[in-house]
Copies of this chain bind each other. A is one copy, B any other.
Amino acid sequence: MPPRRDAVPEGGPGAGDGERLARVVLTRVIEPGDERGGRWLRAFGARGLLDRLSAPGSAADLLPGATERRLAGYRARAAAADPHRDLAAIAAAGGRFICPGDPEWPSQLDDLGDGRPIGLWTRGRFGLRTWAVRSVAVVGARACTPYGAHMAATLGAGLAERGWVVVSGAAFGIDAAAHRGALSAGGATVAVLACGVDVVYPRGHAELIARIAEQGLIVGELPPGDHPTPSRFVLRNRVIAALTRGTVVVEAEYRSGSLVTARHARRLSRHTMGVPGPATSGLSAGVHELLRGEAVLVTDADEVVELIGEMGELAPRRRGPVLPRDLLDPRTARVLEALPARGAVDGTHLARAAGTTTDDALGRLYELHALGFVERQGDSWRLTLQALHRSNARRGGS
């Protein structure tokens, strides 16, 4: 373990179970995106903050800047929380809790500053951190037009085919079309929920969410069982924006939540993109407003990748895998070992060779893609030249 450089512990494994458990509790105490809460967390650490919430004293003594009422609310919620029960609930749902300092923590969320999530509740077997490296958000209106749904599905599929992970909010309309597009292409997709990741919302998406939990990842800031509220929807959008390299808005009315996501993306120096539509459509009016500002007009996945791939797209290939093979998750390493030295192979054959399911193999291939080991070619996958050289060098040299 490296020496602690900071007086304030993060919640990851290096921070000890106490700090981690405290963060589990705090997801029940502090609402997503509460920056004052984030400042106290940064100042006192998770355990330190919980200690203050159970200590006697006034708000002025314990939480600089807090009202008594606010302190009372925190105290009540902290007293009612049971982190072990929450961890048991997420485990029962096939999930886990990840927090800053964990190897799986996507460090780009740190760009949110004091609004950074306390932790992320996660379902799905793939690594969020590696997936998020090559991810793009596709968001838009719930009550979209058939044109919008078509564009979102086409973009979702096209991005997946180009090795990109599609992130959205699992809502009706554009979100669902984007997720389904990615799934239909055997691609990787992440749903960021505004409720507990074991809560099915919207209920009409029970099947879609189950499918994403199987073939992709479900993440959210809210603890198991928590329900969405209007403000949680809005604040969820900042996570979508921060997690991804760029946000594409497909259809949005003036003043819609998708525009909030796009503006978050812009503030976080992510790429902001919009798909144009008829100027006569109110559902394109918000997108056109964005496009009259700093957003870039995109009409297909190639144009999205051309933009968001600028800095990073080719870099991993050029510099080869970013992680030594030996540090891979053993199940991911098995998929890598199953790839032939020459030629490409499809996910189903690869899964058989690696002794796993197709969904599992595909998800791990997206991890390997993000790490620079493999590339997608149509429906098949092959080793990158760099991975091959490295593998040969290792085999020959050791």
Give chain A's interface residues, CB within 8 Å of chain B: 147, 150-151, 275-280, 284-285, 288, 291-292, 296-300, 303
Residues from chain B with Cβ under 8 Å of A288 in the complex = 276, 297, 299
B285 engages A279 (CB within 8 Å): no
Residues from chain B with Cβ under 8 Å of A298 in the complex = 292
Whether A291 touches B278, Cβ cut-off 8 Å, given contacts A285-B299, A297-B297, A299-B285, is no
Residues from chain B with Cβ under 8 Å of A277 in the complex = 276-279
Question: CA of A292 to CA of B288 in the docked complex: distance in angstroms?
Answer: 13
How near does chain B come to A234, taking the closest CB pair, in angstroms? 26
Most B CB contacts (10 A, CB to CB) among A147, A288, A297, A298 go to A297
Most B CB contacts (10 A, CB to CB) among A277, A278, A284 go to A278
Question: CA of A280 to CA of B250 in the docked complex: distance in angstroms?
Answer: 13
A303 engages B297 (CB within 8 Å): no
A296 engages B292 (CB within 8 Å): yes
Residues from chain B with Cβ under 8 Å of A280 in the complex = 147, 150-151
How near does chain B come to A227, taking the closest CB pair, in angstroms? 36
B297 engages A291 (CB within 8 Å): yes
Question: CA of A291 to CA of B279 in the docked complex: distance in angstroms?
Answer: 14
Nearest residue (CB) in B for A279 is B299
Residues from chain B with Cβ under 8 Å of A284 in the complex = 276
Question: CA of A278 to CA of B281 in the docked complex: distance in angstroms?
Answer: 10
Question: CA of A267 to CA of B151 in the docked complex: distance in angstroms?
Answer: 33
Residues from chain B with Cβ under 8 Å of A296 in the complex = 292
Known contacts A278-B278, A288-B297, then 20 further A-B pairs from the complex at CB < 8 Å, ordered by chain A residue: A151-B280, A275-B279, A276-B277, A276-B278, A276-B279, A276-B288, A276-B291, A276-B297, A277-B277, A277-B278, A279-B299, A285-B299, A288-B299, A291-B291, A291-B297, A292-B296, A292-B297, A292-B298, A292-B303, A297-B297
Nearest residue (CB) in B for A277 is B278
Question: CA of A296 to CA of B297 in the docked complex: distance in angstroms?
Answer: 11
Question: CA of A278 to CA of B280 in the docked complex: distance in angstroms?
Answer: 11
Residues from chain B with Cβ under 8 Å of A279 in the complex = 151, 275-277, 299-300
Nearest residue (CB) in B for A299 is B279
How near does chain B come to A309, taking the closest CB pair, in angstroms? 16
What would 10 A/B residue contacts be, using CB atoms closer than 8 Å? A147-B278, A147-B280, A151-B280, A276-B277, A276-B279, A276-B288, A279-B299, A292-B296, A292-B297, A292-B303
Question: CA of A284 to CA of B147 in the docked complex: distance in angstroms?
Answer: 14
How near does chain B come to A344, taking the closest CB pair, in angstroms? 30
How near does chain B come to A182, taking the closest CB pair, in angstroms? 18
Residues from chain B with Cβ under 8 Å of A292 in the complex = 296-298, 303
How near does chain B come to A166, taking the closest CB pair, in angstroms? 17
Residues from chain B with Cβ under 8 Å of A303 in the complex = 292
Most B CB contacts (10 A, CB to CB) among A285, A288, A299 go to A299
How near does chain B come to A293, taking the closest CB pair, in angstroms? 10
Question: CA of A278 to CA of B299 in the docked complex: distance in angstroms?
Answer: 9
How near does chain B come to A51, taking the closest CB pair, in angstroms? 54
How near does chain B come to A369, taking the closest CB pair, in angstroms? 26
Question: CA of A284 to CA of B280 in the docked complex: distance in angstroms?
Answer: 14
How near does chain B come to A157, taking the closest CB pair, in angstroms? 15
Most B CB contacts (10 A, CB to CB) among A150, A151, A292 go to A292
Question: CA of A277 to CA of B291 in the docked complex: distance in angstroms?
Answer: 13
Nearest residue (CB) in B for A292 is B297
How near does chain B come to A283, taking the closest CB pair, in angstroms? 12
How near does chain B come to A67, taking the closest CB pair, in angstroms? 45
Question: CA of A297 to CA of B299 in the docked complex: distance in angstroms?
Answer: 14
How near does chain B come to A289, taking the closest CB pair, in angstroms? 9
How near does chain B come to A363, taking the closest CB pair, in angstroms? 29
